[in-house]
């Protein structure tokens, strides 16, 4: 469906790591694993995007290089968990694109990432959808 109709942000679930959006990874295995959990038994289709860096640079993006405290707060905020302060303005509304570790579970000191997993990227805006749809491998 995505190849023929394009990305539909409204199909994304709420309460996810980086907010409602379309989630991707650079790993086919990760895509099948994560997609299989979300599909609930429905058939899966792996879609490839080849977006030039110049196009990615046009997007308002947040990048979390590790599962540090800011990542933990961002995940807690988007998953509607307890965040002890008002979120920074760059978190609201959602940026065009977010990249960072996958949330695994809540630990005693906050969100815990999956070890040894490829980072996820999510898009959240019509502008990002337009760019990714344009560079989708059909």
CB within 8 Å of 19: residues ≥ 6 apart: 78, 94, 98, 122, 124
At residue 39, the pLDDT reads 63
The C-alpha torsion from 95 through 22 and 98 to 27, rounded to 10°, is: -160
At residue 37, the pLDDT reads 66
Query: Hunting for tokens 């990615």 — which residue is that?
Result: 56
Q: Are 103 and 122 in contact (CB under 8 A)?
A: no
**Among 30-44, 83-97, 110-124, the range of highest mean pLDDT:** 110-124
Name the domain count of the chain. 1
Question: What is the per-residue pLDDT across 52-69, written as a single tens digit (0 to 9) for each?
Answer: 999 999 999 999 999 999
- pLDDT band of residue 41 (cuts 50, 70, 90) is low
Q: Which two tokens stand for residue 34?
A: 């994560």
Q: Are 98 and 24 in contact (CB under 8 A)?
A: no
Chain-centre distance for alpha carbon 4: 21
What residues make up the domain containing 68? 2-134
């Amino acid at each position: 469906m995505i190849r023929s109709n394009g990305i539909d942000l409204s199909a994304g679930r709420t309460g996810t790591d980086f907010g409602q959006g379309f989630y991707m990874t650079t790993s086919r295995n990760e895509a099948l694993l994560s997609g299989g959990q979300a599909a609930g038994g429905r058939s899966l289709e792996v879609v490839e995007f080849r977006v030039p860096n110049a196009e990615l640079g046009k997007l308002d993006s947040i990048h979390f290089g590790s599962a540090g405290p800011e990542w933990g707060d961002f995940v807690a905020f988007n998953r509607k968990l307890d965040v002890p302060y008002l979120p920074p303005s760059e978190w609201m509304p959602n940026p065009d694109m977010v990249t960072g570790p996958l949330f695994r579970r809540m630990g005693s000191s906050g969100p815990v990432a999956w070890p040894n997993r490829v980072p996820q990227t999510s898009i959240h805006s019509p502008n990002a959808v337009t760019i990714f749809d344009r560079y989708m491998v059909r």
